[in-house]
Amino acid sequence: MTRRSLARPATVLLAAALGAGVAVPVAAQTPDGLLQDRAAQVGDLYAWISPDQAGSVTIVTTWGGAHAPSEWATQAWFDPDLTYWIKVDNDGDGSAEITWSFTFTTRLDAPDSIWPTGFGQLPSTPPTVIQEVNVRRDDVLLITSQVPPPNIGPRTTPGYASMVANYLSILDPNSSTGRVFAGQRDDPMFGDLGALGDLLTNRSRANTHVVPTKKAKAQDTRSGMDTLAIAIQVPIGELTADGTVPSDVSAPGSTIGIWAGASRSGPGGDLVQVSRVGAPFIEQWFIPYGYKDAWRAGDPSTDADYEGWYLQPELASLLDQAYPKLPTPRTTDRTDLAQVLGRGIPGLTQTATEGVADQLRLNLAVPPTKKPNRLGVMGGDLAGYPNGRRPTDDVVDITLRMVGDGYGASFAELLGAVGVTAVDTRAARTLGDGCARNDAKAIKDFPYLGTPWDGVKGGRTHKVCPAK
């Protein structure tokens, strides 16, 4: 088979999109986002029906990217100049009906100390740096809660795993409902993202790449890393437009759309949105560099401008060029991707009938699965991604297989039954990165994310991934 060149100029993509009558943004911007504000970077968004708290939804966001455990002094604190937020669309218009915002204050209780924290076993050394989070719903202050210190080490923060329970707060004291947590946790994202960034390399099939090398075991390039997390647990009735708890999966109003982001004070004190995330990998794998800044500052209600990048995803072309021995995925007229990622799965997560809006959609009537399948809907588990996203969902494999036309029989059948063309090529079901789960164990209750690695022992980086 003839190998294809990896070169594909952006001008060719744009011309093809215009020729096909596809909507694309009017003009690209200078990609200032190459030097993105790290503290404001929203990493991942998760939302799922709480398995241990009936009738509630857990929403988790991670911030500032992953950091090494030893970097706690500079990377494990929230930025007091940012407003972090989580938004919910419960009527399908792409705009928020509910907004939780989180602002942080930092005070120094021991300003004359050289040591940033005294949470350990030196009783004469008081805590120096104290952070608190102010939680608001629709601009109404709900609670002010203290943020735990980062997991510095066994002498400073002994018994960290059990200590965190002291930093869980009721989300809404007025109704005594929900819970909230903000602090350092293990980074729940897993994947051989380092290899994927090198021309979509899958180490386990590197010998079939257009630039072949020897096969090797996949490595979790986010292993042993910590992150900042904000988590809330909310009663389902507080998320729906009519205040009810849906029981019919196909009923209108049973699905909500969720996204998160951060805003920073700009000139004159006005807040300027600088990041957002809905479904995983939309910004990274669908939005071109010249449009990322405008996309980050936008709202799902205006995402129709970006529909062309769903319909003609460059990622499909790159997969085709990188793995010439695999069947060629469709590179145009990808109405399946616009539907699943931009409007939702008909009969399961659909919130709109046209356009696209980047949201993580969650059907509130689908009960949690006792034994989750890492491939979510693709693996026959309707309680997993792209119906919400659990920390165990393998969104790397799921996304690559969707784009590469390896939907799997059950997912393709589900879409085909409602008239959405989804191709399931058996060979494309092998697309992925070779990582099947995270390196750290999740905890069984809120906030669910695993205990962060401490700065003394740390965690093993680039750990070999379990493949299944």
Neighbours of 333 (CB within 10 A): 12
Helix or strand or coil: residue 112?
Answer: coil
* pLDDT 10s digits, 420-434: 999 999 999 999 999
| Residue 273 belongs to a domain | yes
pLDDT for the residue 305: 94
Mean pLDDT along residues 377-385: 97
Averaged pLDDT of the chain: 90
Q: Would you say 128 and 109 are in contact if contact means Cβ atoms under 8 Å apart?
A: yes
* pLDDT 10s digits, 140-163: 999 999 999 999 999 888 899 999
Q: Would you say 356 and 303 are in contact if contact means Cβ atoms under 8 Å apart?
A: yes
pLDDT for the residue 128: 81
Preceding omega of 368 cis (within 30 degrees of 0): no
The strand ranges marked E within 211-293 are 219-220, 226-235, 255-265, 271-277
* 458 has pLDDT over 90: yes
Mean pLDDT along residues 256-261: 98
Helix or strand or coil: residue 230?
Answer: strand
Cα 260 from Cα 43, distance rounded (Å): 10
pLDDT for the residue 267: 81
pLDDT for the residue 112: 82
Q: Would you say 395 and 402 are in contact if contact means Cβ atoms under 8 Å apart?
A: no
Cα 115 from Cα 126, distance rounded (Å): 10
* 7 has pLDDT over 60: no
| Residue 400 belongs to a domain | yes
pTM: 0.92
227: alpha, beta or left? (left if phi > 0; alpha if psi -120 to 50): beta
pLDDT for the residue 27: 47
Mean pLDDT along residues 198-223: 96
pLDDT for the residue 19: 36
User: 33-37, 44-48, 280-284: lowest mean pLDDT where?
Assistant: 33-37
| Residue 465 belongs to a domain | no
| Residue 292 belongs to a domain | yes
| Residue 467 belongs to a domain | no
Angle between helical axes of 395-403 and 314-322 (0-180°, round to 10): 90
pLDDT for the residue 108: 86
> In this structure, what token pair is assigned to residue 257?
């759309």
| Residue 176 belongs to a domain | yes
* pLDDT 10s digits, 86-130: 999 999 999 999 999 999 999 988 788 877 776 666 666 667 889
In the chain, the number of structural domains is: 1
Mean pLDDT along residues 239-244: 96
Cα 27 from Cα 10, distance rounded (Å): 13
% of the chain surpassing 70 pLDDT: 90
| Residue 4 belongs to a domain | no
Domain that holds residue 138: 11-440+450-459
pLDDT for the residue 129: 86
* 4 has pLDDT over 50: no
Amino acid letter for position 170:
I
* pLDDT 10s digits, 299-342: 999 999 999 999 999 999 999 999 999 999 999 999 999 999 99
| Residue 284 belongs to a domain | yes
pLDDT for the residue 125: 65
Helix or strand or coil: residue 46?
Answer: strand
